[in-house]
Structure 1
Amino acid sequence: MLAPARREFPQSSPLVLESTAATAYLECLQQLERLHRLMHDLVKDEFERLGRHDLNPVQALILYNLGEAEVSAGELRSRGMYQGSNVSYNLKKLVTMGYVHHERCDLDRRSVRVRLTEAGQDVRQIVLDMFHGHAAQLAVSGVLDDPPLDQVNLQARRIERYWTEQIRYIY
């Protein structure tokens, strides 16, 4: 079997690095990292304000992303982009704490399906209410209008699609 072709990236010449597009892309990557960390801090602060110290932000966001669905851990990983061992560990903790119900799939006994319990739904609602409050405040301030957030989301989906294609290209 032939080894997969190695991807060649353009050499980083000063002209490439100074280009407006490359600079904006690198800034976008840094901003995404900061936003992700800040979202975790916001969730942590909200739960501390409510006196809820039993969940960490990752666990609360797993409950939020699980939503009304009944899914396998693999599906949750692909939807929420959680790392494999991280999501497995946190799901086990959430089951133990009574936030998630799990059962073996009838068709494939190796697969476990998970869904929120009533307590898990309550946590999801806390996070959802917090996000709705943020959206309302940002809408009033006009932050979501320039550029329109739907255009920002479209661009993010395009970058996501490109990254996904890059990962598939490797394998």
Structure 2
Amino acid sequence: MPQTSPSPVRPVPALRPAPSVARADAYLESLQILERLHRLLQDLVKDEFERLGRTDLTPVQALLIYNLGSYEVTAGELRSRGMYQGSNVSYNLKKLVDLGYLSHERCDMDRRSVRVKLTPAGQEVRDNVAGLFARHAQGLDLSGVLDDPAIEIVNLQWRRIERFWLEQIRYIY
């Protein structure tokens, strides 16, 4: 019997979901998960503040304080960061000033514009939210949830989707 040479080994292509319907369904599922995660984040913040006996803030206001951090910004700058869609930023800022979590002053350059920054009470709220997030990050890290796939890869994918969405919005206008 003649000997035949073994056929060359071909690399196995990386496993990917079938294009079209499966990918579209996965994308739609991802959007639903993202929406649920956003609501759960607000619930987590609400529960934390209830546990601390702080019922004067909504989760949106607490997250606004957290994201404001040590910056001094205008309402327009907060809106342009793409956060707080669906919430009335001006109303929430006024409420946070009235509650003593933010201070405000007119801009020197544009007297129509008001800049806001955290007061010590606002910094305390920010620290509460930061502590909550640090505890969650530690728990997720210990459980291995952040490892497969690595959270850095997941974030890279979300940033790509964010960039795609921004391009779509710019294309419309």
TM-score tier by shorter-chain length is: 0.7 to 0.9
Please say if residues 65 and 80 of structure 1, whose CA atoms lie closer than 8 Å, have aligned partners that are also in contact: no
Matches within 5 A, 1:3-152: 16=20, 18=21, 20-79=22-81, 81-83=83-85, 86-152=88-154
TM norm structure 1: 0.87
Assess if the C-alpha contact under 8 Å between 1:77 and 1:84 holds in 2: no
Cα deviation per residue 1:46-85 (whole Å; 9 max; x = unaligned)? 0001111110100000000000100111111222511386
Letter in 2 for 1:94: L
One-letter amino acid of the structure 2 residue matched with residue 86 of structure 1: N
Which structure 2 residue ranges, 5 or more long, are not aligned?
Answer: 1-18
Query: What is the aligned length?
Result: 155
| Identity over aligned pairs, percent | 72
Higher helix share: 1
Amino acid of the residue matched to residue 159 of structure 2? R
For the 8 Å contact 1:71–1:113, the answer to whether it is kept is yes
What is the CA–CA distance in structure 1 between the aligned matches of 2:27 and 2:166, rounded to whole Å? 17
Structure 1 moving runs of 4+ over 4 Å: none
Root mean square deviation of aligned Cα: 1.3
Name which of 161, 164, 167 aligns with 1:165. Answer: 167
Q: TM-score, normalised by structure 2?
A: 0.86
Distance 2:79 2:126 in 1: 17
Superimposed CA distance per residue, residues 100-135 of structure 1 (whole angstroms, 9 cap, x where no aligned partner): 011111001111111000000000000000000000
